[in-house]
Structure formats: structure tokens, C-alpha cells
Amino acid sequence: MNGMKTKVMVGIIVGLLLLTLLTSPVTASSSANASDTANLSDSAVVSDSAAAPDFVATSDITLNILGNANGDRTIDMKDVEYTESIILGSGSQTEFADATGDSSIDMLDVTRIELINLGKAKELTLVDGAGRQVNVTLPVKNIIPTDYRTTETLLALGTGDMIVGVDRAFHERMAEFGLLDLPEVSMHGQSVDYEMVLTLEPDIVLLPLSRAENADDIARNLPNTAVVVMGLASQKSIDSDLTTMGFVLGKEKEANELLSWMQDYEELVKERTSDLTADEMPTFYYEYMSGSEEKWWVITPDDPSAGQVAEETGGLNIATGLAGTSIEVDPEWVIEKNPDFMFADLMKGFDSGPGKTEEDMENLLTEVLSDRPGFEKVNAVKNNNVYLVDRDIIGGPRWVIGHIYFAKSMHPELFEDIDPAEIHKEYLKKFHNLEVAGTWAYPLPE
């Protein structure tokens, strides 16, 4: 009996060996077929000079996912129709029409778009904040944001049950949002604990824009994980990246709701300040203190986050035209510029915000203005137009609160009915179901 078993075993081994030898030509056949599509001479090949179709995006917000052929904020049957028009030769090629990412726009893309639209796609390809094409397996179940402001934005979409790890700063600076039991896997996207991340088996690891250059290196250390760079903390990129992540995470409705909320307030500021002439716009100086260096830096309009938040608020940044996003400047330069308003961005994050009272902030303001010889001559100081702003209402979805605060500080008469503190409460309640006491800006303009 044992002899029989041995013979069968040896037989199976011989058989498997034989099969291994014989399967090679089949593989060759498959690869030849795969190249078939790419070699179709008449298929619409993606060109670099792709022209946008006439109806493309009335706003700058785009869903950065392959398959969004018409460049709007979603993937639907309009993308199917548009891709068909490209293949037939009546539509112009667009950036995201090549849904399969095979460098050819053909009917396979149409099927992929339909699968995405119907929620049947097993994967999709997004273009992240670093311009990288990243394949994401669907449905996404577990995510790890490695930057605390990204975490806040994702929580506003109702993804709390999907987050399996956070960065240390989230626990230190945003404890009010919870997730206290989750492991810490990084610090601002730096020092990623690869072993821990792999143990948590996330589908997506999100990096902030500041880590764009390291994204490929980090991805190499995290096999079978989609490593995605997203600008969810920055005013300039949050709209499109929020739209993209909302789609990928199956939170399209929630993302649109948050976007509308931000856009409504942004529009309100624009409406009320658009008629101001240059003479009616005061000058302002906007500074922040680096957490490690204990010195103040001026923020220019080129800063994609804070610099942009202060733009179009009815004032003129005295740092306009300076090279860079933030620069250490000589106090004499500030005195010479003599700004009408001064805003100090409390980047360090522990002196303002949750739990802080107006009294705490008043003391902080005194401290901020101390040891600045010559500043007493500056209009902003002379006229009590110096304001403290917590970075929490400058970054992430709360940027719009800071935006309103800037506008109301410089033009209280245009925003009598608007209270930034109330809008902050509204945000916390509406998108996080939280009520948090604290002071994020001081003084509150009357």
C-alpha cells in the first residue's frame, strides 16, 4: 500500500515537472495578445497636446481619476459618451480619458468607465498630488493618513471606521477628534514605521504634499499598498483632492457636502469684497513662528496654504512680490512697510485652540508683541489691529474660517452678520458631531 502511495506521489511530481516545461509557450501567447491593443495604429493614441473639450470644468475642481474623460467632478455616463466621441474622432483627447492607463484611448476604456460608474470596478487609477498614477484596489477598506490635517479632512467625510493608523501629531494636536487608540505610524508623513504600517494592512497610505518627493521611496517599502500624495491640508489643492478621495473612498456625497460648505463661505467673502478698490484695501503683514526656531517668518501669497487663505480677503499682503512662500525678514522692513493690519499665525499649535480662553489669548498677544522695538510705530500696532490666528483654521477644510476671519478683521462693516467663531462651531458639529470649547482667533473682530 505504501509502495503504491509512493508511486502516485512520484507520478504527480513527474507530471508537474512536465507541465512546468510545457506552459512556457502559453505565456508567450498571452503577452503577444496583450500588446495587440497598444499596437492598433488607428486607435486614438494619447497625445501630450490634448485639447480640452468645450464643456470642460467651469471651475478648477477636477476628479483626478483615469476615466474622468470630460474633466468634471465625477465619472458617469457623460464620460462614456465623451470617450466614444474621442474614439470616433469627433471629441478632443483629454488627460483622463485613458481609463485603463495603457496609453491608448479605445473601447476598453469605455468599459472601464462603465465599471467605475456602476461601482463594479475592481481597481481604478488616480493621479495624486505629485502627478503619480497610482492603482487603487476597490473597495477601499483601510486607510492610513500620515499627516494630522489629512486625518481631520478624512474624518469630515465620515471615514473614521476606515482609518487604522495616524501620525503622532494627530494625537498631540487634535485629540478632540478621537482615534486615541490607533497606533502612530509617522510624524507629518516623516519617519514612517513601515513594519507597523504593513501590520495594519492598509489599502491606501496618504502622504501630505510636503512628502511628494519621497513618495516613490516610501511606496517601495510598502508593497501591495497604494501610496498616495494628497493635498488635503492646503487651500490650493484641497478642492480637487477632496473630490478625488471622496470618490475613491465611496464618500462622494460627503465630499460634495463639505466642498459646498467651503465654497459657500468662499463665495460670500468674494461677493462682499469684490467691489473694493485698491484704495479701500488696507495693507497687512502675515507672519508665522516656526515651531523649532522661535523666530517669525513672513508669509507670501505664494504659500499654497496660508498665503492663499489670506488672499482675496480685501487686503494687500506687504510680502507680495517677495520670492518664496515664507521668508525670514528684517523687522526694520516691516516697520518701513508700516502695514495697517498684522496677523500672527500660531503654527506651534499648543498656545491657542481647544481649551484656551480669551484671557489666555490676550496674554499670548502681549507676548507676541513684546520685544519688538519700533513696532509701536507701525499702524497695525498703534490702531490695535494685531490678530492671532490658530493654524487649525488655516489648514484643511477649516481654511475658509481663517479666510473669513481675515476679511472680517479688515472689513468688519461688510461682515457684521458673520461670526467666524460660530462658523467654526457649525463645522465641528456638522462634520464631526463635536462641541469643543476654545479660542482659535483673537481678538474677535466686532
Partner 1 sequence: MKKKLWKGLERSAFFGICFAALIAAFAAVPVQAQQATVSIDTPEIVEGSTVYATVNIDSVENLDAGQFVLVFNPDVLKIVGVENGSIGEAEVPVQWRSVDNGKVRVIFNLEGVTGVSGSGQLASVGLEVIGGGKGDLRISNGLLGDTEAHSIDTDWGVPEASDIDADMRDIEAENTQKTASGFEAVLTLIGLTTAMYLTRSKQM
Question: Which cell goes with 81?
Answer: 459618451
**Complex with partner 1: residue 88 or 278, whichever CB lies closer:** 88
Smallest distance from partner 1 to CB 212, Å: 30
Task: Tell how far CA 78 is from the center of its chain.
Answer: 26
Count of residues binding partner 1 (CB under 8 A)? 50
Question: Which cell goes with 162?
Answer: 476606515
Name every residue whose Cβ is closer than 8 Å to that of residue 91 and which is 6 or more positions away in sequence: 53, 82, 83, 85
In the list 1, 2, 5, 25, the residue contacting partner 1 (rule: CB under 8 A) is 25
Residue 2 interacts with partner 1 (CB under 8 A): yes or no? no
Residues 98-127 as x/- pattern, contact with partner 1 by CB under 8 A: -xx-----xxxxxxx-xx--x-x-x-----
Smallest distance from partner 1 to CB 57, Å: 25
Residue 323 interacts with partner 1 (CB under 8 A): yes or no? no
**Complex with partner 1: residue 33 or 224, whichever CB lies closer:** 33
The strand pairing partners of 135, in sequence order, are 125
Residue 433 interacts with partner 1 (CB under 8 A): yes or no? no
Smallest distance from partner 1 to CB 58, Å: 27
Residue 424 interacts with partner 1 (CB under 8 A): yes or no? no
**Complex with partner 1: residue 45 or 198, whichever CB lies closer:** 45
Region 71-100 residues binding partner 1, contact defined as CB under 8 A: 80, 84, 87-90, 99-100
Smallest distance from partner 1 to CB 225, Å: 23
In the list 13, 51, 52, 437, the residue contacting partner 1 (rule: CB under 8 A) is 13
Which of 5-13, 276-284, 341-349, 384-392 is the region at the interface with partner 1 (rule: CB under 8 A)?
A: 5-13
Which of 28-36, 191-199, 354-362, 429-437 is the region at the interface with partner 1 (rule: CB under 8 A)?
A: 28-36
In the list 40, 51, 175, 327, the residue contacting partner 1 (rule: CB under 8 A) is 40
Count CB neighbours of 116 within 10 A.
Answer: 24
Which of 10-18, 147-155, 201-209, 416-424 is the region at the interface with partner 1 (rule: CB under 8 A)?
A: 10-18
Name every residue whose Cβ is closer than 8 Å to that of residue 155 and which is 6 or more positions away in sequence: 163, 177, 179, 431, 432
**Complex with partner 1: residue 27 or 49, whichever CB lies closer:** 27
Which of 14-22, 48-56, 188-196, 233-241 is the region at the interface with partner 1 (rule: CB under 8 A)?
A: 14-22
Smallest distance from partner 1 to CB 117, Å: 9
Smallest distance from partner 1 to CB 4, Å: 9
Smallest distance from partner 1 to CB 165, Å: 32
In the list 2, 41, 49, 277, the residue contacting partner 1 (rule: CB under 8 A) is 41
- Residues in contact with partner 1 by CB under 8 A are 3, 6-8, 10-19, 22, 25-26, 28-29, 32-37, 39-43, 80, 84, 87-90, 99-100, 106-112, 114-115, 118, 120, 122
